[in-house]
């Protein structure tokens, strides 16, 4: 009960921090979801634009309600000089099978980018036959393709392509299921299967062109993904290592006793509270995304959460320093704590891969934070070993009668006497 009462201020601070973090997350997510799109191309200017959830793709459009005409451009990126980029709509449901697609790739004969229509029937998913171009059975008024950068632009990994299309929509039907993807190779004029990562399998969304918004389901998933990532990066990826460093490098400073313990316990408790929220959001994402298995990321998350829970239990079953089982508790506490910290940081990096942010500024910023923390820990570790060696040498001299008194290194008093 004494520990709980002393930790009460940290619980209050954690609640306040959670409220502030909630406000920051809402602002950040809105900024992320509304950025990285443009309404301007070299030939047209559109009224609205939107970043799509995966592959750094985006869409810009102008909808004319008087005649139900939709004028749009899709922005996608090649992942290979001999690859393809495709965009299409599914008239019936948000899935790949049944999509009417426009696919751009370099012409095998001339090398210029061409745009051909394809219908993705069930045989495409089963790969029982090559994908052949055929006319689309939708009201496609016109379509064209252009490389970002003008006529001198070439197809290479990372090159942006613009797929233009003008569609005649059915009356009172402004919600359209969009499907997009990209692949590595084209055999003749037949695009081959795309990669099967989580991001590639998630390249589907439903947009209401009249209101300019994603469907509520996809909007919620995208928001939850960013909130899940930010909370877990802060809790498991930063708070937990900082709390561990506090225990290792502050506990030997006499002037900070017992403050270091409450700072350490408060930081770890805040990390676990935020981490539990992030873990719960991850479970919710799994429910909202049936059939999508995150594999390693999911397993590491479960193991880290279990280890974190064990650490919280250790706080309430902490034996006194005079207890004979104290040394076993310390070994268990250290082993589980360091294991949880390492798994947490590793899983944050794995999360960047899952979200397709392996080359993002977010990952760069987090890497800089972790690198700075590691640098500080290395400096403190070196300093602690210097102090330890100095103390050991002084203790050796004291035992041999060459030095007497006491000393002060890192908060511990000492005095020196001359010996004749």
pLDDT, tens digit, for every residue of 99-130? 999 999 999 888 889 999 999 988 777 677 88
State mean pLDDT over 240-265.
Answer: 84
pLDDT of residue 233: 94
State mean pLDDT over 378-382.
Answer: 89
pLDDT of residue 73: 94
pLDDT of residue 416: 44
Least confident of 29-33, 198-202, 362-366, 370-374: 29-33
Report whether 59 contacts 37 (CB < 8 A): yes
Share of the chain above pLDDT 90, in %: 32
Least confident of 26-40, 141-155, 237-251, 291-305: 26-40
pLDDT for 415 beyond 80: no
pLDDT of residue 232: 94
Of the candidates 282, 297, 307, the one whose C-alpha atom is nearest the C-alpha of residue 348 is 297
pLDDT tens, residue by residue, 171-229: 777 788 899 999 999 998 999 988 877 677 778 888 888 776 665 555 567 778 889 99
pLDDT of residue 380: 87
277 pLDDT tier (thresholds 50, 70, 90): very high
Residue 235: Cβ within 10 Å count:
24
Q: If 0-12 CB within 10 Å is exposed, 13-18 middle and 19+ buried, where does residue 329 land?
A: middle
Top pLDDT among 197 and 156 is at 156
pLDDT for 295 beyond 90: no
Supply 81's token pair. 């000089």
pLDDT for 420 beyond 60: no
pLDDT of residue 291: 53
Per residue, the 3-state secondary structure of the chain, as one string, reads CHHHHHHHHHHHHHHHHHHHHHHHHHHHHHHHHCCCCCCECCCCECCEEEECCCCCCEEEEEEECCCCEEEEEEEEECCCCCCEEEEEEECCCCCCCCEEEEEEEECCCCCCEEEEEEEECHHHHHCCCCCCCCCCCCCEEEEEEEECCCCCCCCCCCCEEEEEEEEECCCCCCEEEEEEEEECCEECCEECCCCCCHHHHCCEEEEECCCCEECHHHHHHHHHHHHHHHHHHHHHHHHHHHHHHHHHHHCCCHHHCCHHHHHHHHHHHHHHHHHHHHHHHHHHHHHHCCCCCCCHHHHHHHHHHHHHHHHHHHHHCCCCCCCCCHHHHHHHHHHHHHHHHHHHHHHHHHHHHHCCCCCCHHHHHHHHHHHHHHHHHHHHHHHHHHHHHHHHHHHHHHHCCCCCCCEEECCEEECCCCCC
Mean pLDDT of the chain: 81
Report whether 86 contacts 101 (CB < 8 A): yes
Of how many residues is the chain composed? 420
pLDDT of residue 19: 53
Top pLDDT among 51 and 253 is at 51
Supply 34's token pair. 């509304």
pTM here? 0.53
pLDDT tens, residue by residue, 70-85: 999 999 999 999 999 9
pLDDT of residue 372: 94
Phi-psi region of 101 (alpha: psi -120 to 50; beta: other; left: phi over 0): beta
């Amino acid at each position: 009960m004494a520990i709980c009462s002393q930790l009460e201020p940290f619980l209050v601070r954690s609640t306040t921090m959670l409220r502030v973090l909630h406000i920051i997350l809402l602002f950040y997510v809105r900024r992320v979801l509304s950025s990285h799109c443009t309404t301007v191309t070299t030939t047209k200017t559109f009224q609205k634009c939107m970043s799509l959830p995966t592959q750094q793709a985006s869409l810009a459009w102008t909808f004319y309600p008087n005649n139900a005409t939709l004028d749009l451009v899709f922005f996608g990126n090649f992942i290979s000089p001999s690859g393809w980029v495709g965009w299409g709509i599914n008239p019936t449901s948000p899935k790949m099978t049944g999509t009417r697609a426009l696919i751009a790739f370099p012409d095998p004969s001339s090398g210029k980018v061409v745009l051909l229509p394809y219908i993705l029937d069930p045989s495409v998913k089963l790969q029982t036959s090559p994908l052949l171009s055929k006319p689309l059975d939708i009201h496609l008024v016109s379509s064209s393709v252009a490389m970002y950068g003008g006529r001198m632009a070439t197809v290479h990994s990372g090159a942006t392509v613009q797929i233009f299309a003008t569609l005649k929509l059915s009356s009172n039907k402004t919600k359209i299921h969009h499907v997009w993807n990209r692949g590595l190779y084209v055999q003749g004029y037949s695009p081959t299967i795309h990669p099967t990562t989580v991001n590639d399998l998630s390249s589907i969304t439903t947009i209401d062109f009249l209101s300019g918004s994603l469907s509520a389901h996809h909007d919620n998933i995208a928001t939850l993904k960013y909130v899940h990532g930010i909370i877990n990066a802060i809790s498991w990826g930063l708070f937990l290592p900082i709390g561990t460093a506090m225990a290792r490098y502050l506990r030997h400073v006499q002037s900070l006793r017992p403050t270091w313990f409450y700072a350490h316990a408060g930081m770890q408790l805040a990390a676990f509270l935020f981490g539990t929220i992030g873990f719960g959001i991850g479970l919710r994402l799994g429910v909202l995304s049936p059939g999508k298995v995150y594999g390693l990321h999911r397993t590491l998350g479960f193991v880290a959460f279990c280890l974190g829970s064990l650490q919280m239990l250790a706080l309430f079953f902490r034996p006194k320093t005079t207890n004979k089982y104290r040394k076993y508790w310390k070994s268990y506490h250290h082993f589980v704590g360091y294991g949880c910290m390492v798994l947490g940081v590793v899983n944050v990096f794995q999360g960047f891969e899952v979200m397709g942010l392996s080359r993002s500024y977010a990952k760069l910023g987090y890497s800089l934070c972790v690198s700075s923390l590691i640098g500080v820990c290395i400096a403190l570790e070196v300093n602690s070993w210097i102090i330890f060696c100095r103390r050991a040498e002084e203790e050796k001299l004291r035992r041999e009668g060459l030095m007497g008194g006491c000393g002060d290194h890192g908060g511990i008093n000492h005095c020196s006497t001359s010996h004749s």
